């Protein structure tokens, strides 16, 4: 389940300066426009600014559920998981009818579980499941929540709430309610049952039935990465670029696969450079992440100076980008 994609979990830290703005900075951020300005900063991936503005908005309007939710989401993006959970729990208490708040609370619990030990995972499993179930109950058309709940049912052990039967029932309902994402759900069911050919057929059906939608190519890529079928992962992105040459995220993914595997390093670097010409927004990979991948490629090439430059660039954008500070220490 990742911040950007279903299974993605890219976490960052947050410097003390951003986590605890000075009184003067907080006062400057406080205004009737704090909430909307914070929402805009969050969408533009200016997470430090978003945290400051949304923190101010949450203080100004302590009963505003949207302020609490957006503040929690900004904290989540920066890896401040305990504080994110606290704010998102407050959001769900302030507005028990918000499917979005329940979904993001489930995401935050999930990241805590991913980064915790077995005991913590077992303790959080019920909270994750209930949050996603509540999000789906509140808004049956919340496709993100439905897919997240499906993944939970398929991945969690039975004693933690996992259930293939529940995943199948959810998929059956999606066929009626959300035919596009039902292809993904059915493919995930077939992958769970090791029926690769039937899963591939669902992915191809999504491309055929919904021309112009780019998501199925990323679904295929993720499936290939899970199997460590690197040629298939590259080919998924090549197919997307043939269908949609301007898709910037496909360029990032080519670079990410290169950094992960050591394959096609020159192409991976060029793709990441092209991605950096793009201005990412929302859930797209951040510029810091692109520099991180460039640093990893440079390391694979043995170019320590270039790797240091790219790690430094990543940290300049996001002081908590995962692994960069440790890598710089290793390269000194």
List, as one string, the DSSP characters of 229-285. -HHHHHHHHHHHHHH-TT-HHHHHHHHHHHHHH--SHHHHHHHHHHHTTS---TTSP
Give me the domain span that covers residue 73. 1-145
pLDDT at 1 over 70: no
Please count the structural domains in the chain: 3
**Helix/strand/coil for 69:** helix
Task: Tell me whether residue 77 is in a domain.
Answer: yes
Q: Residue 198: what pLDDT?
A: 98
pTM: 0.84
Query: Cβ neighbours of residue 267 under 8 Å, at least 6 residues apart?
Result: 254, 258
Q: How confident is the model over 32-61, as a mean pLDDT?
A: 92
Are residues 128 and 1 both part of a single domain? yes
Task: Tell me whether residue 150 is in a domain.
Answer: no
For residues 34 and 125, the model is more confident at: 125
Q: Residue 226: what pLDDT?
A: 95
Alpha-helical (H) ranges within 156-214 are 164-177, 179-192, 196-209
Token pair 């559920």 is found at 65
Are residues 67 and 206 both part of a single domain? no
Last residue of a domain, one of 115, 145, 175: 145
Q: Give the other-Cβ count within 10 Å of 161's Cβ.
A: 16
User: pLDDT-derived band of residue 30, with 50, 70 and 90 as boundaries?
Assistant: very low
Q: Residue 7: what pLDDT?
A: 33
Q: Residue 29: what pLDDT?
A: 41
Encoding tokens for residue 50?
A: 């978003």
Are residues 129 and 190 both part of a single domain? no
Summarised one tens digit per residue, pLDDT across range 203-225 is 999 999 999 999 999 999 999 99
Last residue of a domain, one of 208, 233, 258: 233
Are residues 271 and 215 both part of a single domain? no
Are residues 23 and 58 both part of a single domain? yes
Q: How deeply is 266 buried, as exposed, middle or buried, from its count of CB atoms within 10 A (0-12, 13-18, 19+)?
A: exposed
pLDDT at 6 over 70: no
Q: Residue 328: what pLDDT?
A: 86
For residues 41 and 31, the model is more confident at: 41
Q: Residue 285: what pLDDT?
A: 95
- When computed from its CA atoms, the radius of gyration of the chain, rounded to whole angstroms, is 20
User: pLDDT-derived band of residue 19, with 50, 70 and 90 as boundaries?
Assistant: very low
| Torsion angles phi and psi, residue 272, rounded to 5 | -65, -35
Task: Tell me whether residue 95 is in a domain.
Answer: yes
Q: Residue 31: what pLDDT?
A: 47
214 DSSP 8-state letter: -
The dihedral of CA 298, 304, 310, 314: what is its sign?
A: positive
Are residues 21 and 72 both part of a single domain? yes
Count of alpha carbons within 13 Å of 213, Cβ hemisphere only?
Answer: 17
Question: Are residues 225 and 231 in contact, defined by beta-carbon separation less than 8 angstroms?
Answer: no
Q: Residue 13: what pLDDT?
A: 25
Of 20-24, 98-102, 139-143, 230-234, the poorest mean pLDDT is in 20-24
Q: Name the percent of the chain lying above pLDDT 70.
A: 90
Query: Cβ neighbours of residue 318 under 8 Å, at least 6 residues apart?
Result: 12, 47, 78, 286, 288
Question: Are residues 255 and 297 in contact, defined by beta-carbon separation less than 8 angstroms?
Answer: yes
User: pLDDT-derived band of residue 33, with 50, 70 and 90 as boundaries?
Assistant: confident
Summarised one tens digit per residue, pLDDT across range 275-302 is 999 999 998 999 999 999 999 999 999 9
Are residues 272 and 323 both part of a single domain? yes
Q: Residue 16: what pLDDT?
A: 24
Query: How far apart are alpha carbons 161 and 109 in whole angstroms?
Result: 15
Task: Tell me whether residue 16 is in a domain.
Answer: yes
Task: Tell me whether residue 277 is in a domain.
Answer: yes
pLDDT at 322 over 90: no
pLDDT at 21 over 60: no
Are residues 209 and 307 both part of a single domain? no
Q: Residue 329: what pLDDT?
A: 86
Task: Tell me whether residue 174 is in a domain.
Answer: yes
Alpha-helical (H) ranges within 117-163 are 118-138, 143-155
Q: Residue 34: what pLDDT?
A: 85
Summarised one tens digit per residue, pLDDT across range 154-204 is 999 999 999 999 999 999 999 999 999 999 999 999 999 999 999 999 999
> Mean pLDDT score of the chain, rounded to an integer?
89
Summarised one tens digit per residue, pLDDT across range 87-129 is 999 999 999 999 999 999 999 999 999 988 889 999 999 999 9
């Amino acid at each position: 389940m990742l911040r950007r994609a279903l299974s993605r979990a890219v976490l960052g830290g947050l410097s003390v300066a951003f986590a605890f703005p000075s009184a003067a900075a907080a006062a400057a951020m406080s205004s009737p426009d704090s909430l909307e300005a914070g929402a805009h900063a969050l969408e533009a991936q200016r997470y430090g600014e978003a945290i400051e503005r949304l923190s101010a908005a949450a203080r100004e309007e302590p009963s505003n559920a949207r302020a609490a939710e957006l503040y929690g989401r900004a904290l989540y993006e920066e890896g401040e998981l305990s504080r994110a959970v606290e704010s998102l729990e407050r959001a769900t208490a302030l507005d028990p009818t918000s499917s979005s708040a329940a979904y993001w609370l489930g995401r935050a619990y999930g990241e805590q579980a991913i980064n915790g030990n077995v005991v913590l995972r077992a303790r959080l499993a019920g909270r994750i499941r209930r949050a996603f179930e509540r999000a789906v109950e509140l808004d049956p058309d919340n496709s993100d929540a439905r897919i997240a709940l499906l993944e939970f049912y398929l991945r969690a052990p039975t004693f933690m709430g996992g259930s293939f039967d529940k995943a199948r029932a959810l998929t059956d309902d999606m066929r009626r309610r959300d035919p596009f994402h039902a292809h993904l759900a059915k493919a995930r069911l077939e992958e769970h049952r090791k029926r690769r050919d039937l899963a591939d057929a669902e992915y191809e059906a999504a491309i055929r039935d919904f021309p112009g939608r780019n998501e199925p190519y990323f679904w295929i890529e993720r499936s290939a990465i899970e199997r460590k079928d690197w040629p298939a992962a590259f080919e998924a992105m090549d197919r997307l670029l043939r269908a949609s040459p301007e898709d910037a995220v496909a360029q990032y993914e080519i670079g990410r696969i290169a950094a992960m595997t050591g394959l096609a390093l020159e192409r991976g670097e060029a793709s990441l450079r092209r991605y950096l010409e793009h201005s990412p927004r929302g859930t797209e990979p951040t510029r810091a992440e692109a520099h991180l991948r460039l640093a990893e490629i440079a390391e694979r090439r043995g170019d320590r100076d270039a790797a240091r430059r790219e790690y430094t660039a990543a940290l300049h954008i996001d002081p908590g980008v995962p692994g960069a500070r440790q890598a710089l220490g290793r390269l000194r």
